Structure 1
Amino acid sequence: MLGAFVGLLTLIAILNQLPFFQTATNAFISRFNTASEQEGGVQGTLGGRYLGGMLNIFSSSSNIPFFGYGAGIFTNVGSKLLTGTLISGIAEGEWGRMIAELGTLMGVTVIFVRFSLSLETVLKAYRRLSIGDVLPWTLLGYSLLQGPQANWAQPTSLGFSILSIGLVLAASKSSNQRKLN
């Protein structure tokens, strides 16, 4: 394992001497630094983009009907069939779409269920990490992006969300539990 890591580092060091690799590396680092400056660093990225996008709907949901506008109203087909015109969504994020379509009560309920599922995967993965099993913890990163806020109205995104969360939960089972199932 250590030999493979050393070999990879050697390959990267050799490639870094080539002009096309340096150009690509510099472009990537420049993009990363510019994005970090624009977003305000890690705090701005997590607070503004990830959490802010999810929480902004609660401050702007006062003009949304209690029971929402109806599931699917902000899709192209749904808005055309229901209103005769294309309607743009109230919010860009998934949480905003759910609250706008389902209403405050049902929207917050669905958000709570999704958040609870994500919290359960974190706790199970952490329990396995504490006994030295790193696989569930490694898989957790993607499922924490997909679980709470991925667009589940789009079937491909829903499929990847279920797959990623399912893999974390399956990897979180002990070997004895895996044999029984």
Structure 2
Amino acid sequence: MAKGIGTKGLIKLLLWAYIALLLGEGALRKWFLVPLSEPLLIVRDPIVVLIYLLAFRANLFPVNGFVIASIFMGFMAFLFGALSSESSVIVTLYGMRINFLQIPLIFVIGQVLDYKDCVQIGKVLIALALPQVLIMVLQFSSPQGAWINSQVGGGEGIMGALGRYRPPGTFSFITGPAAYFPLVLAFVIAFLLHEGRRYTWLCYIGAASVMLAIPISISRLLALTCALVMLAATYAFYRLPNPPKLIIRSVGAAALILVVVPMLPVFDTATETFTARWVSSTGEDVEGFKEEVVGRFLYGLVGLPFNALFEAPLTGHGIGVGSNVGAKMLTGEVTFLMGESEWQKAIMEMGPMLGLGFIVLRLMLVVFLFRYAFSALGRGNAMPLLLFTSCFTLVLNGQWGPPTILGFAILGSGLTLAATKTSSLSAEDAPKLRQPDDPAPAAHSAHR
């Protein structure tokens, strides 16, 4: 073990490795290590296990209701999977690592990192936004057969509109940018609110990258999540004691970005394609939004899970069966055997009782994170609320089967908790934050 670093320092290094693989895993799978594409699906899992071992050693592993519930549900899901004639042990284990392995990591991140660490992570994520969006522009402008548009497992990309495919950047699929850029936007706004002039130009570049990424991605999820972050920012701006110069600087940055980004040659084409993605078959934007976005979301959140309650066996078809990897192991084809809705899949895989329990667990986790984020806002710290807003939909009902969505759900949640810990910072480090009494809230730092 490296001398002078300590266990906590090693955990931080491993968390940086986790973030690096989260951002670059897709590039490895489709460009550089194509033969290892399938093993790279779980490349972050050994890092997570090693973090847990180190956390146990340093008495930093969390023991709280969420972790205990995850262990119990994972054990029951394993038993149910063993009883299922439709699954296998390998598929069951794969399903358990999707649903339960990384939940404790949220609280380890919240225990080991603090606001200052979040600033360092935010700086890196914002700095990488520009090269990320430039890769997406190149993908958007290139034919599907180009090397830059290589897909994991071969084949074509996901169609967007007007014959254009949705560019995933360095990620495996478009869900990567849809989770990454809202997190970047959350950090940009938090820096503008709390970090003074230190990162002004970095924030300008990050905000411009996000603005360009929205139409280039042709992703409605990215646009809607960024809109939620902006709503949270508006509320935080109202709640915080913002000096006039901060208001002027924010408005000036927005005006500059709104003028410069639309001047880019690719912007008009991207905007036209993105707009077409919102239009329904009737050609009416409003109806298209109601049908394709609101209706689809509500049906996936309520309708499909409700139907699954009456269709699923008492012990389910087996955890992992509904994932693409599980389906390929069992049938040889990449498909959705249990449906695309995350809550529907949970019920079909684990049965009505355990599936509902898992849904409630994720819902309560969202409520828990929101309480801490909102409490931090009352102390003058808007970063946790912004980070929460960028990731809570992924925690609530995001598809955790794709490793990128799971990774951003866990990372965003952990950073939300970590960003609430500001009392160890000096006034110079956090000039606009009022310090809480307790640097590590007991509810997410419960030790063994």
Compute the TM-score of the two structures, normalised by the length of structure 1: 0.77
Give the number of the structure with larger relative contact order, counting CA–CA contacts within 8 Å between residues 6 or more apart.
2
Whole-angstrom CA distance in 1 between matches of 2:422 and 2:250: 29
Task: Tell me the amino acid that sits aligned with residue 357 of structure 2.
Answer: T
For 1:113, what is the secondary structure of its paired residue?
helix
Superposed CA deviations along residues 104-130 of structure 1, whole A, max 9, x for unmatched, are: 111100110010000111111111222
Map of 1:1-181 to 2, 5 A cutoff? Answer: 1=246, 2-3=248-249, 5-6=251-252, 8-10=254-256, 12-13=258-259, 16=262, 18=263, 20=265, 23-24=268-269, 26-27=271-272, 30-31=275-276, 34=279, 36-37=285-286, 38-40=288-290, 45-46=293-294, 48-61=295-308, 62-79=310-327, 82=330, 86=333, 88-175=336-423, 176-178=437-439
Contact preservation (8 Å) 1:15, 1:21 = no
Whole-angstrom CA distance in 2 between matches of 1:131 and 1:25: 41
For 1:160, what is the secondary structure of its paired residue?
helix
Whole-angstrom CA distance in 2 between matches of 1:65 and 1:179: 43
Match of 2:69 in 1: none
Task: Tell me the amino acid that sits aligned with residue 53 of structure 1.
Answer: G
For 1:153, what is the secondary structure of its paired residue?
coil
The count of residues paired between Structure 1 and Structure 2 equals 176
Cα offset for 1:5?
A: 4.3
- Measured at CA, do residues 49 and 170 of structure 1 come closer, stay the same or move farther in structure 2, by a change above 3 Å? farther
Superposed CA deviations along residues 139-178 of structure 1, whole A, max 9, x for unmatched, are: 1112211111122233332221111111111123452543
In the alignment, structure 2 segments of 5+ residues that lack a partner are: 1-245, 424-436
Contact preservation (8 Å) 1:65, 1:103 = yes
- Measured at CA, do residues 177 and 31 of structure 1 come closer, stay the same or move farther in structure 2, by a change above 3 Å? farther
- Measured at CA, do residues 50 and 121 of structure 1 come closer, stay the same or move farther in structure 2, by a change above 3 Å? farther
In the alignment, structure 1 segments of 5+ residues that lack a partner are: none
Task: Tell me the amino acid that sits aligned with residue 178 of structure 1.
Answer: P
Whole-angstrom CA distance in 2 between matches of 1:170 and 1:147: 17
Contact preservation (8 Å) 1:68, 1:102 = yes
Whole-angstrom CA distance in 1 between matches of 2:302 and 2:346: 12
Contact preservation (8 Å) 1:74, 1:89 = yes
Match of 2:111 in 1: none
Whole-angstrom CA distance in 2 between matches of 1:66 and 1:137: 38
Whole-angstrom CA distance in 1 between matches of 2:274 and 2:404: 31
Which deviates further from its counterpart, 29-38 or 116-125? 29-38
Identity among equivalent positions (%) equals 24
Whole-angstrom CA distance in 2 between matches of 1:134 and 1:63: 43
Whole-angstrom CA distance in 2 between matches of 1:22 and 1:157: 27
Whole-angstrom CA distance in 1 between matches of 2:377 and 2:257: 31
Which deviates further from its counterpart, 135-144 or 54-63? 54-63
Task: Tell me the amino acid that sits aligned with residue 34 of structure 1.
Answer: V
Whole-angstrom CA distance in 2 between matches of 1:40 and 1:3: 36
- Measured at CA, do residues 20 and 98 of structure 1 come closer, stay the same or move farther in structure 2, by a change above 3 Å? same
Whole-angstrom CA distance in 1 between matches of 2:261 and 2:318: 54
Contact preservation (8 Å) 1:69, 1:102 = yes
Whole-angstrom CA distance in 1 between matches of 2:264 and 2:439: 50
- More helix per residue: 1
Superposed CA deviations along residues 21-68 of structure 1, whole A, max 9, x for unmatched, are: 772475267347636520228xx844x233331212233121211111
Whole-angstrom CA distance in 1 between matches of 2:351 and 2:275: 42
Task: Tell me the amino acid that sits aligned with residue 49 of structure 1.
Answer: R
